[in-house]
Structure formats: C-alpha cells, structure tokens
C-alpha cells in the first residue's frame, strides 16, 4: 500500500504559523530565480519565500503568474518559507471568487484557521 501525505490546509500567508505544517496558498509570483530555485510569492495578506523541491515546476513560477503552491511552511530568519512540493497554474481563476468559496467551505465544515 502506498503511503499518503497529510492534506494541505488551504490558507492565506498571514494565517501560516510556520511550524512545518502542509499548506496550500493561492498567490501571485513576485519574482523567481531559476538558478537558486527560489522566489517570492504574495497573496495580498503577506509575502513568503518559496523554494522548489522539483525543477519541473520552475516554468510555472513566472513573475505575475497566479499559482497555487502546496508544501511545508517554516519560519526562517528571512521570514516565512514554503518548501513547495507542487505548484499549480491557476491562470483564469478569479481570486475573489476563490476566497469566497474557501470561506464558505470553512463555515460549512466548521474549520478555524490553521
């Protein structure tokens, strides 16, 4: 039987505690350095440094691109760090509508923040 990962919580950057929790963040790419495999993302509530685990996702991290980053979040001396396991292209998604759906899901399933 294959091992399964814990699910990633759908959160905003400001809600992340940075204790190694798995997170999912809808955000805009601010910048990305393909040589270092790291860059900055912004979701309107905060900015985080993202480090890629897999080079296959690097092409999705172009400045200005709307993406969903899934990975583990940590606090570092530079601020918040997300070690991205998956990056999804979210081009065409309405961020405001996405936030409304996220809020509705939280209320229906009675979830608090992270």
Q: Check residue 108 and give its pLDDT.
A: 87
Write down the domain spans for the chain. Answer: 9-108
Q: What is d(CA 58, CA 32) in angstroms, rounded to the nearest whole number?
A: 8
What are 71-102's pLDDT values in tens digits?
A: 999 998 888 999 999 999 999 999 899 889 88
- Non-local (6+) Cβ contacts of 38 within 8 A are 32, 49, 50, 51, 52
**Whether the predicted model's global pTM rises above the 0.75 cut:** yes
- CATH 2.40.50.140 is right for the domain spanning 9-108: yes
């Amino acid at each position: 039987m294959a091992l399964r990962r814990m699910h990633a919580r759908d959160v905003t950057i400001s809600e992340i505690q940075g204790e190694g929790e798995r997170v999912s963040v809808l955000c805009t790419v601010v910048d990305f350095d393909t040589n270092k495999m790291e860059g900055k993302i912004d979701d309107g509530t905060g900015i985080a440094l993202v480090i890629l685990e897999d080079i296959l996702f690097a092409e999705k991290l172009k400045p200005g691109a709307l993406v969903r980053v899934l990975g583990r979040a940590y606090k570092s001396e530079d601020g918040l760090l997300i070690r991205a396991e998956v990056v999804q292209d979210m081009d065409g998604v309405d961020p405001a509508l996405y936030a409304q759906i996220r809020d509705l899901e939280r209320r229906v399933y009675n979830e608090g923040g992270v």
